[in-house]
């Protein structure tokens, strides 16, 4: 493949090196400002963080801007709910300043720092405040999309307060009852001036109104692709407690040989792991467990031992290593030293010739993630690169970290969503296996290289000449 | 004693089903030891699991001329394409069969007892057919396309479904824009069998009176009273949606789809890349550049597109050289989708059909037996293609004027979606090189214009040969392959 210079407004080079970005980045021209709306303890921050995590994972640079945090930086010590009283002039002034500071940072992020989406996380409960934000966005050429969360269920609200408010920096010196009381009074301060998004008055705005934690949605004037994806995502997430179990297949015959890819069966130790996995799952006594595997022998053989009906996804198949399939790292180093080095330089975006990149994997795993969000208790038996992608989504890891996440064989990760994140328990099932993890090598030196001098010579070639047949 | 043993044989994405006389599972799993008494056939595991359990009954709600039939047909086409067997049950059709000739709107008057009885009987018949579709014809989703404008009618449908164990999902279309309604009537009602003997204005006037008959008893889905039902309410052709209690995966997909479709007039242009170097040699797959004739086509395509004066045209290509080189000649910015890459022929990449016959004769035959589901070893099937193209289709629905420069198998999949072709027809749709297809949505379907740009190219279309048995001889296998250098 040669690098050809293309004329035209978009410059694309065909090479495994320059990967053409996911359509979504091409689709959105203006940056988007997502604005949350709702009384305190309605899940705005939960939604903001989750949405930000999802968008970043699919490759849309997104950042959240929580006004509460700006307020905490400005007003070092939180005394009581009185700060939020609508007649507290001084409090109002400070809060307005914080909102402005946050919007300023939003502008910088979207206009100067390559951000694509900014999530402005605040109550934004008055039409006046929302009008100011809309004007700000228009001035700067940003699209606006409102996400309102409406909930009147006192149990849900109380649970929210317990999960995320009591542990907030605002209440470090209060006991539970005091904190609960104060927070409830805080909510009251907003209630009188709360103007919900109105079907008639706000009919020209783009928004989704989420009612009762997702029982009901009102969607108005979706403008473009990214807003449509955001709506789809928000309509698929839920907060029902559940756990996600991730593990790789048992050790395979090719693992033992030190080869990547392929479609081999389990080694004897791999079979042992499968049995132990079955026992472990039984012992957990999980209600209504779903089991997913890929369509490769080694995950299917592993799931067979669990004795729960399982479903196969082609999308969970291991990364396609193209011309390097079934080779050992030493062989790749020998036959494709250039490729090997380039992969180490950008492991996330590097695409194996006739194969895939981690970035491709994320795109093919997106429907799996969407369905995982809909599900409850679930065990996913998959592969190293796949598990890294899924883990990066759940634990909010960057594209740089993703390809180096540690996912050893014979270890189950139990992820339980809690507060704004995920609790992770790592359970090693005590069956030995080879180590298939390869750390990011230091610049210019491969951890698997036999002859460093040969390798350095190759590196010189890389710098000198980016054309390859 | 014959025992049917069905096991997921642990090969990539394949399932082996065989009838065996051996009761010993262990020896059954060892293919090499299979004796001549056993007979086996291969099927391929679908790339995405079947995520639906109970059948789903979608119930349309709305006054006449609100787009219910348009939505029903489009939704059904989409669901069938992604592999969910779906059928539309249009009450109007049942009524036309019961009452052979339509006189006028008086039939629909709410005080017309005789007509009411007929209409009720039709609804019962339609629901009986739904039961047959689900229980005997392997249907997964049925769309009950009728006005269903009274709470009484909807309650009876809900209890019927509960009894049978079907899930119910309502789709209500609400529209009060008189222009849209008038447009609907012109596009699909005036030409309906009901008005075959009327002139346009008569038909229009009668239909408006028909709508009035329903308005008197119309009770829309209510926020409070219907809060336990699962439904989506579509306002004014999609400017606003109200979604209540989505129960499962398929309902979530249906909502997502309905929220992405629109009725703004536009055209979709489909074309393959220009003839490639590998095309000339009769080789499949690969990533070669354009032949000289291919470049000619690309230039001609550029001229054609300019001549069409298309407003705001978006151009999409795959990541493969030949589509990109084709788009380059257009002089318009284009976007690349990896999902538009040609079907991966795995071990058969860059082989000619003769090579495949020589090196993989059995695979070649299996492919002819079930070209839609057949998956090349280490490659893909048409079925896999459809799943990878689903986001492309979703975005195509959102867009307006688009030109998609793609590949033979990919174009077949897109065409099958747009023209409602079955899985059996899909792999044999004719998509010749150097021809542009212009698809314009009209009424309930798509108008297709074939524009051949008059640049010579090889033929790459291979018809299904007469003999698809694995025991066939090479001549029979190669009978239908197109000529090449």
| Structural domains for chain A | 17-234 (3.40.50.300), 244-320+356-438 (3.40.50.1240)
**Active-site amino acid positions of A:** 249, 318
Share above pLDDT 70 across residues of chain B, in percent, rounded to a whole number? 92
Residue A444 pLDDT:
52
Angle A155-A159-A165 from CA coordinates, rounded to 5°: 135
CB-based contact B48 A26, cutoff 8 Å? no
CB-based contact A314 B47, cutoff 8 Å? yes
Side-chain-side CA neighbours of residue A249 (13 Å): 31
The model's pLDDT over B255-297, given as tens digits with 9 standing for 90+, comes to 999 999 999 999 999 999 999 999 999 999 999 999 999 999 9
Q: Which tokens sit at B449?
A: 């214009």
CB-based contact A1 B287, cutoff 8 Å? yes
| Cα distance between residue A66 and residue A44, in whole Å | 10
Per the annotation, where are the binding residues of A? 248-255, 298
pLDDT value at B7 more than 50: no
Per the annotation, where are the binding residues of A for substrate? 248-255, 298
Residue B404 pLDDT:
98
Strand partners, A417: A422
Q: Which residue's entry shows tokens 């409850």?
A: A376
Sheet-wide strand order for A411-418? A310-312, A290-293, A378-382, A244-248, A411-418, A421-428
| Cα distance between residue B304 and residue B403, in whole Å | 12
Q: Which residues of chain B are within 8 Å of residue A27 when distances are taken between CB atoms?
A: 335, 395
Q: Which helix (DSSP H) or strand (DSSP E) does residue B97 occupy?
A: helix B91-98
Q: How confident is the model at residue B420 (pLDDT cuts 50, 70, 90)?
A: very high
Q: Which tokens sit at A150?
A: 């409406």
Q: Which residue's entry shows tokens 């606003």?
A: B240
Contact indicator for A303, A291 with CB cutoff of 8 Å = yes
> CA A198: distance to chain centroid?
32
Residue A4 pLDDT:
30
Closest CA to B95 of B133, B74, B126, B62: B126
Q: Which residues of chain A are within 8 Å of residue B48 when distances are taken between CB atoms?
A: 313-315, 367
CB-based contact A225 B395, cutoff 8 Å? yes
Residue B26 pLDDT:
46
The burial of A230, by beta-carbon neighbours within 10 Å (0-12 exposed, 13-18 middle, 19 or more buried), is given as buried
- Minimum distance, in Å, between the CA of residue B398 and any CA atom of chain A: 8
| Cα distance between residue A200 and residue B277, in whole Å | 60
User: In this complex, is the C-beta atom of B178 within 8 Å of any C-beta atom belonging to chain A?
Assistant: no
> CA A336: distance to chain centroid?
33
Share above pLDDT 90 across residues of chain B, in percent, rounded to a whole number? 82
| Cα distance between residue A293 and residue A301, in whole Å | 10
For chain A, the residue count is 469
- Minimum distance, in Å, between the CA of residue A220 and any CA atom of chain B: 4
Nearest to B10 among A215, A235, A300 (CB): A300
CB-based contact B240 A9, cutoff 8 Å? no
Q: For the stretch B343-382, what's the b/e string if a residue is b when 16 or more beta carbons lie within 10 angstroms of its beta carbon?
A: bbbeebbebbbeebbeebbebbbbbbebbbbbbbebbbbb
Torsion of CA B282, B283, B287, B290, to 10 degrees: -10
How many C-beta neighbours within 10 Å does residue A59 have? 18
| Integer angstrom CA distances of residue B383 from A161, B14, B389 | 48, 13, 10
Q: Which tokens sit at A229?
A: 């994806």
| Cα distance between residue A235 and residue B417, in whole Å | 26
The model's pLDDT over B139-187, given as tens digits with 9 standing for 90+, comes to 999 999 999 999 999 999 999 999 999 999 999 999 999 999 999 998 8
User: In this complex, is the C-beta atom of B252 within 8 Å of any C-beta atom belonging to chain A?
Assistant: yes
| Cα distance between residue A372 and residue A50, in whole Å | 14
Q: For the stretch A192-201, what's the b/e string if a residue is b when 16 or more beta carbons lie within 10 angstroms of its beta carbon?
A: eeeeebeeee
Q: Which residues of chain A are within 8 Å of residue B240 when distances are taken between CB atoms?
A: 199, 203, 218-221
Q: Which residues of chain A carry a pLDDT beneath 50?
A: 1-27, 445-469
Q: Which residue's entry shows tokens 């809900």?
A: B158
The model's pLDDT over A275-289, given as tens digits with 9 standing for 90+, comes to 999 999 999 999 999
Q: Which residues of chain A are within 8 Å of residue B335 when distances are taken between CB atoms?
A: 10, 23, 26-27
Q: Which tokens sit at B225?
A: 């009273």
Contact indicator for A207, A183 with CB cutoff of 8 Å = no
Q: Is B273 a catalytic residue?
A: yes
Predicted TM-score (pTM) of the model is 0.89
- E strand residue ranges, B127-188: 141-145, 167-174
Residue B5 pLDDT:
38
Q: Which one of B172, B273, B295, B363 is the catalytic residue? A: B273
DSSP B279-340: HHTTB-S----B-HHHHHHHHHHHHHHHHHT-TT-EEEE-SSHHHHHHHHTTTS-EEE-GGG
Could you tell me whether strands A143-150 and A32-37 are parallel, antiparallel, or unpaired per DSSP bridges?
parallel
Interface mutation target, options A23, A209, A262, chain B, most CBs of B under 10 Å: A23
DSSP state of B189: I
- Minimum distance, in Å, between the CA of residue A262 and any CA atom of chain B: 9
- E strand residue ranges, B348-455: 402-406, 435-442, 445-452
The model's pLDDT over B193-204, given as tens digits with 9 standing for 90+, comes to 899 888 889 999
| Stretch among A167-176, A393-402, B322-331, B405-414 having the lowest mean pLDDT | A167-176
Nearest to A23 among B50, B252, B337 (CB): B337
ipTM of the complex model: 0.88
Total beta-carbon pairs less than 8 A apart between chain A and chain B: 113
CB-based contact B240 A221, cutoff 8 Å? yes
Q: Is B75 annotated as a binding residue?
A: no
Contact indicator for A314, A383 with CB cutoff of 8 Å = no
Residues 282-311 of B with CB under 8 A from A: 287
Q: For the stretch B272-292, what's the b/e string if a residue is b when 16 or more beta carbons lie within 10 angstroms of its beta carbon?
A: bbbbbbbbbebbbbbbbbbbe
Angle A325-A329-A332 from CA coordinates, rounded to 5°: 65
Nearest to A20 among B10, B319, B387 (CB): B319
């Amino acid at each position: 493949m040669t690098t050809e210079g293309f004329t035209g407004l978009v410059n694309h080079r065909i090479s495994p090196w320059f990967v053409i970005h996911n359509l979504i980045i091409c689709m959105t021209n203006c940056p988007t400002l997502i604005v949350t709306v709702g009384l305190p303890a309605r899940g705005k921050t939960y939604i903001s963080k989750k949405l930000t995590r999802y968008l970043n994972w699919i490759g849309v640079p997104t950042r959240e801007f929580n006004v509460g945090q700006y307020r905490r930086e400005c007003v070092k010590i939180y005394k009581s709910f009185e700060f939020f009283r609508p007649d507290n002039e001084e409090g109002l002034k400070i809060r307005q300043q914080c909102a402005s500071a946050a919007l300023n940072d939003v502008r910088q992020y979207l206009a100067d720092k390559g951000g694509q989406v900014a999530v402005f996380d605040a109550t934004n409960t008055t039409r006046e405040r929302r009008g100011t934000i809309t004007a700000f966005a228009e001035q700067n050429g940003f699209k606006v999309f409102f996400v309102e969360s409406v909930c009147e269920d006192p149990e849900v609200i109380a649970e929210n307060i317990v999960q995320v408010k009591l542990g907030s920096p605002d209440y470090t010196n209060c006991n539970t009852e005091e904190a609960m009381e104060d927070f409830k009074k805080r909510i009251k301060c907003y209630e009188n001036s709360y103007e919900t998004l109105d079907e008639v008055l706000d009919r020209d705005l783009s928004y989704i109104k989420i009612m009762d934690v997702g029982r009901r949605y009102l969607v108005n004037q979706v403008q473009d692709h990214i807003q449509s994806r955001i709506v789809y995502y928000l309509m698929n997430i839920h907060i029902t407690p559940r756990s996600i179990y991730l593990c790789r297949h048992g050790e395979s015959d090719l693992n033992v040989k030190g080869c990547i890819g392929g479609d081999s069966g389990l080694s004897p130790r791999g079979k042992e792991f499968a049995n132990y996995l079955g026992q472990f799952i039984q012992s957990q006594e999980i209600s209504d467990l779903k089991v997913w595997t890929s369509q490769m022998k080694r995950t299917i053989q592993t799931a067979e031992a669990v004795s729960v009906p399982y479903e196969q996804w082609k999308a969970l198949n291991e990364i396609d290593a193209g011309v390097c399939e079934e080779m050992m790292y030493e062989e790749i180093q020998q036959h494709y030293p250039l490729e090997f080095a380039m992969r180490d330089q950008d492991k996330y975006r590097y695409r194996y010739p006739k194969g895939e990149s981690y970035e491709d994997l994320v795109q093919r795993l997106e429907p799996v993630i969407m369905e995982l969000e809909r599900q409850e208790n679930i065990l996913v038996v998959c592969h190293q690169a796949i598990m890294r992608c899924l883990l990066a989504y759940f634990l909010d890891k960057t594209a740089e970290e993703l390809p180096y996440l540690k996912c050893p064989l014979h270890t189950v990760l139990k992820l339980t969503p809690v507060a704004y994140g995920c609790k992770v328990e790592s359970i090693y099932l005590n069956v030995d296996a080879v180590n298939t993890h390869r750390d990011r090598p230091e610049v210019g030196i491969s951890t698997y290289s036999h002859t460093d001098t040969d390798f350095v010579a190759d590196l010189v070639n890389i710098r000198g000449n980016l054309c390859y047949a | 004693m014959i025992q049917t043993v069905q096991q997921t044989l642990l090969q990539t994405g394949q399932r082996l089903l065989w009838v065996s006389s051996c009761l010993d599972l262990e020896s059954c799993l060892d293919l090499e030891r299979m004796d001549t008494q056993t007979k086996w056939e291969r099927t391929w595991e679908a790339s995405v699991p079947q995520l639906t359990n109970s059948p789903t009954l979608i119930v349309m709600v709305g006054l006449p001329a609100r787009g219910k039939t348009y939505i029903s047909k489009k939704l059904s086409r989409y669901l069938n394409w992604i592999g969910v067997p779906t059928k539309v049950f249009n009450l109007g059709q049942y009524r036309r069969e019961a009452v052979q000739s339509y006189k006028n709107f008086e039939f629909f008057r709410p005080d017309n007892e005789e007509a009411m009885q007929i209409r009720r009987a039709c609804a019962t018949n339609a629901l009986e057919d739904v039961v047959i579709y689900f229980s005997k014809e392997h249907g997964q989703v049925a769309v009950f396309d009728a006005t269903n404008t009274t709470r009484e009618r909807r309650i009876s449908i809900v209890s019927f479904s509960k009894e049978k164990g079907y899930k119910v999902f309502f789709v209500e279309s609400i529209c009060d824009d008189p222009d849209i309604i008038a447009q609907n009537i012109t596009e699909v009602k005036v030409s309906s069998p009901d008005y075959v003997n009327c002139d346009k204005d008569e038909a229009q006037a009668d239909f408006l009176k028909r709508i009035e008959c329903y308005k008197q008893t119309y009770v829309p889905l209510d926020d409070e009273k219907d809060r336990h039902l699962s439904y989506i309410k579509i306002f004014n052709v999609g400017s606003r949606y109200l979604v209540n209690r989505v129960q499962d995966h398929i309902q979530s997909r249906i909502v997502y789809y309905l929220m992405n479709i629109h009725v703004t007039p536009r055209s979709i242009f489909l074309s393959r890349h220009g003839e490639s170097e590998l095309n000339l040699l009769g080789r499949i797959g690969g990533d070669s550049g354009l032949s000289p004739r291919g470049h000619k086509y690309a230039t001609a395509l550029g001229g054609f597109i300019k001549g069409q004066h298309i407003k705001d045209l978006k151009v999409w290509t795959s990541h493969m050289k030949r589509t990109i080189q084709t788009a380059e000649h257009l002089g318009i910015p284009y976007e690349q989708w990896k999902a538009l890459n040609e079907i991966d022929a795995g071990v058969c990449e860059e082989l000619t059909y003769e090579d495949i016959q020589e090196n993989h004769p059995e695979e070649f035959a299996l492919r002819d037996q079930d070209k839609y589901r057949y998956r090349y070893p280490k490659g893909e099937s048409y079925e896999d293609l459809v799943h990878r193209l689903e986001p492309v289709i979703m975005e195509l629905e959102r867009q307006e004027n688009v030109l998609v420069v793609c590949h033979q198998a990919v174009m077949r999949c897109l065409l099958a979606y747009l023209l409602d072709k079955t899985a059996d027809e899909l792999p044999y749709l004719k998509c010749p090189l150097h021809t542009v297809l212009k698809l314009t949505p009209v009424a309930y379907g798509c108008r297709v214009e074939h524009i051949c740009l008059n640049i010579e190219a090889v033929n790459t279309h291979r018809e299904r040969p007469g003999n698809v048995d694995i025991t066939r001889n090479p001549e029979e296998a190669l009978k239908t392959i197109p000529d090449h250098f």
